[in-house]
């Protein structure tokens, strides 16, 4: 690399070995120097001849770089006065922006950097427990047991073909054969009543929730949310300016009567009836009827988030709320994150027929459609039976992992933790003794490399007792046992 100081220019570094043509390196250097204020508007630049000689390069790349900079408006020429940095470039711009690799420097005279009140309200404190992917990261399936060979074969099958219909814009509702396969699966396994025309593919259920919020709610609309509940749902609602109304959850699920007392006229309710997040309870039949009746009478929508109900250890999965709905009040949100893998980013929303056009428009306006290749692969994965087989295997595996976790908790922390919600899913809740700060315990655990999510941030109002949400899907038996031993050292009165 040659480093040369031209007569009145800051040092110019050119790298003959970089493979980037000299003229491009030069024009890029000028652009950067102008944008970050090292070259000022009106400042003269050397003639092409003198710059070429100082840089010890031929004149051609210098001429070519200058030509490009003229064309882009960075340079201007005056007869008799030579070439200078265009005087029309605003001084603030040229002085205030740092090169990409340095930290942002904000000029003293810069106007305030306003962001919306909604995004400010979504700011979360540091969640160090999300740094680790091992025990007890919630929502993480057994990636090491995923049939990667089968999956790669399916990806190759379609990626190699380069079929043009997979490379163009797709249907905002999603790839039809996949939606047909999902409709069949939901009819059979989840008692959801729908056909493919009611299914909208999304990039996971988080996007499904956002689209529901966009379609169903105006700013200021009150919406029941479970207390405790899924923070992601609260965020999706707040993004459209809706007002979450916390409604307590007990052993029968959301307390509908308490919801009616708090906000009879709420526009919607967000619920996880099959497996309440995070407490793990199942909504009773009575509460389901009460909720549907309230929705019908008051004209409210019910957003049913059915995120992991495939994994139920005693008996069959609980049937959906959507299947009981005769009035088209329930919007059913599902995901492949827990049953396939989260980075796939594929989920779906089952929409009442009359809402299909509105959901189509919102889906189109969001990010147009989901990547076609993975939709096609997922359709084959389901149709060829791999999906059902994988779920069956994982159910057995998670039963073993759950048993290992319960055993280890009993052995090492039986006097400290009270376990609830272990009948289904891939996680359970362990309540801490009163007076112990669950966020502090989670931070300590993160320092030891384990991911334990605190329970209290799932509440809008601070709970009487903190707890830990422990995912066991993604951790092997040995890792679970080690994790619980480490956790013991984090749970002390002074944690
Ligand atoms: C209750 C609940 N809903 C939705 C999601 C989001 O899932 P997805 O990865 O499909 O966005 C999660 C993720 O953990 C969840 O726990």
Give the residue whose CA is nearest to atom 15 of ligand 1: 307
Residue 128: the pLDDT is 85
Considering the domain architecture, whether residues 315 and 229 belong to the same structural domain is answered as yes
Residue that finishes a domain, picked among 368, 387, 411: 368
Based on the domain organization, do 323 and 471 belong to the same domain? no
Q: What confidence score (pLDDT) does residue 311 get?
A: 86
Atom number in ligand 1 closest to CA 272: 1
pLDDT tens column, 261-283:
999 999 999 999 999 999 999 99
Assigned domain for 339 exists: yes
Q: Which residue in the block uniquely carries the two structure tokens 């009487």?
A: 464
Do 322 and 276 fall into the same domain?
yes
CATH of the domain at 364: 3.40.640.10
Q: Are residues 301 and 235 in the same domain?
A: yes
Q: 118 or 186, which is more confident?
A: 186
The DSSP element (H or E) to which 471 belongs, if any, is strand 467-471
| 11 pLDDT higher than 60 | yes
| Tens-place pLDDT, residues 58-91 | 999 999 999 999 988 999 988 777 889 998 888 7
Domain membership of residue 231 as a residue range: 171-368
Co-location of 403 and 364 in the same domain: no
309 inside domain: yes
pLDDT at 6 > cutoff 90? no
**Residues 231, 340: one domain?**
yes
pLDDT tens-digit map of 299-313? 999 999 999 888 887
Question: Across all residues in the chain, what is the average pLDDT?
Answer: 91
> For residue 123, what pLDDT is reported?
80
- State the average pLDDT over residues 340-344: 96
Compare 5 and 324 and report the one with higher pLDDT: 324
DSSP state of 36: T
Q: Is residue 53 part of a domain?
A: yes
At residue 1, the pLDDT reads: 52
**Residue/partner pairs of 31-38 with CB below 8 Å, 24 or more apart:** 31/69, 31/72, 31/74, 32/99, 33/9, 34/74, 34/85, 34/89, 34/94, 35/93, 35/94, 35/97, 35/99, 36/94, 36/97, 36/98, 36/99, 37/94, 37/95, 37/96, 37/97, 38/10
Specify the number of domains making up the chain: 3
Q: Domain for residue 166, yes or no?
A: no
Q: Is 337 in the pocket of ligand 1 (CB under 6 A)?
A: yes
Q: Across residues 485-491, what is the average pLDDT?
A: 92
Residue 96 has pLDDT above 60, yes or no: no
Ligand 1: nearest atom to the Cα of 207: 11
Query: Ligand 1 pocket, 309 CB below 6 A?
Result: no
Overall average pLDDT of the 365-378 stretch: 96
Paired strand residues for 136 = 471
pLDDT-derived band of residue 494, with 50, 70 and 90 as boundaries?
very low
CATH code where residue 453 lies = 3.90.1150.10
Can you tell me which atom of ligand 1 is nearest the CA of 342? 9
345 and 429, same domain (yes or no): no
Same-domain check for residues 179 and 133 = no
Give the pLDDT score at 442.
Answer: 94
Is residue 190 located within the same domain as residue 305? yes
- Mean pLDDT lowest for which of 3-12, 105-114, 321-330? 3-12
Single out the residue in 96, 117, 149 at which a domain terminates. 96
The verdict on residue 116 lying in a domain is no
Q: Mean pLDDT across the stretch 222-238?
A: 97
Q: How far is the CA of 338 from the centre of ligand 1 (A)?
A: 8
Q: Is residue 406 part of a domain?
A: yes
> Does one domain contain both 239 and 317?
yes
Q: Are residues 219 and 327 in the same domain?
A: yes
Domain presence at residue 70: yes
Find out whether the beta carbon of 322 lies less than 6 Å from any atom of ligand 1.
no
pLDDT of 218 over the 80 cut: yes
Collect all residues with Cβ–Cβ distance below 8 Å to 160 and sequence separation of at least 6.
none
Higher pLDDT, 189 or 101: 189
In this structure, is residue 118 part of a structural domain?
no
Least confident of 15-19, 154-158, 159-163: 159-163
At 27, which CATH number? 1.10.10.10
132 & 179 share domain: no
């Amino acid at each position: 690399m040659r480093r040369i100081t031209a007569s009145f220019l800051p040092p110019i570094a050119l790298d003959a070995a970089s493979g980037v043509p000299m003229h491009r390196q030069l024009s890029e250097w000028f652009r950067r120097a102008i944008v970050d204020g090292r070259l000022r508007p009106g400042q003269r630049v050397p003639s092409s001849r003198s710059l070429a000689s100082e840089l010890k390069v031929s004149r051609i790349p210098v001429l070519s770089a200058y030509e490009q900079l003229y064309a882009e408006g960075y340079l201007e020429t005056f007869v008799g006065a030579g070439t200078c940095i265009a005087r029309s470039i605003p001084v603030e711009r040229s002085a205030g922006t740092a090169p990409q690799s340095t930290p942002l420097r904000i000029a003293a005279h810069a106007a305030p950097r306003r962001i919306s009140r909604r995004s400010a309200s979504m700011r979360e404190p540091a969640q160090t427990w999300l740094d680790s992917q091992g025990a007890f990261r919630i929502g993480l399936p057994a990636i090491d047991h995923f049939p990667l060979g089968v999956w790669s074969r399916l990806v190759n099958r379609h990626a190699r073909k380069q079929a043009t219909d997979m490379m163009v814009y797709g249907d905002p509702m999603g790839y039809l054969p996949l939606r047909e396969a999902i409709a069949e699966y939901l009819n059979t396994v989840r008692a959801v009543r729908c056909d493919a025309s009611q299914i909208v593919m999304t990039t996971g259920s988080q996007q499904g929730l956002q689209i529901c919020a966009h379609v169903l709610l105006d700013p200021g609309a009150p919406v029941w949310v479970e207390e405790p509940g899924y923070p992601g749902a609260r965020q999706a609602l707040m993004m459209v300016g809706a007002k979450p109304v916390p409604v307590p959850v007990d052993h029968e699920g959301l307390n509908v009567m308490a919801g009616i007392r708090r906000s009879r006229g709420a526009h919607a309710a967000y619920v996880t009836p099959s497996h309440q997040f995070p407490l793990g309870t199942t909504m009773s039949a009575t509460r389901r009827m009460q909720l549907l009746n309230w929705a019908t009478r008051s004209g409210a929508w019910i957003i049913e988030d059915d995120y992991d109900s495939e994994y139920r250890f005693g008996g069959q999965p609980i049937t959906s709320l959507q299947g009981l709905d005769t009035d088209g009040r329930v919007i059913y949100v599902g995901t492949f994150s827990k049953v396939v893998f989260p980075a796939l980013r594929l989920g779906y929303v089952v929409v009442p027929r009359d809402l299909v056009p509105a959901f189509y428009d919102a889906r189109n306006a969001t990010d147009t459609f989901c990547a076609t290749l993975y939709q096609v692969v997922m359709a084959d994965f389901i149709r060829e039976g791999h999906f059902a087989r994988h779920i069956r295997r994982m159910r057995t595996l998670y039963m073993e992992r759950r048993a290992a976790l319960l055993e280890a908790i009993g052995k090492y922390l039986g006097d400290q933790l009270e376990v609830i919600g272990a009948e289904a899913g891939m996680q359970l809740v362990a309540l801490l003794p009163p007076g112990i700060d669950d966020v502090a315990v989670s931070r300590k655990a993160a320092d030891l490399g384990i991911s334990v999510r605190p329970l209290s941030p799932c509440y809008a109002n601070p709970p009487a007792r903190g707890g830990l949400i422990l995912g066991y899907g993604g951790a092997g038996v040995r890792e679970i046992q080690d994790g619980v031993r480490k956790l013991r050292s984090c749970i002390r009165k002074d944690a």
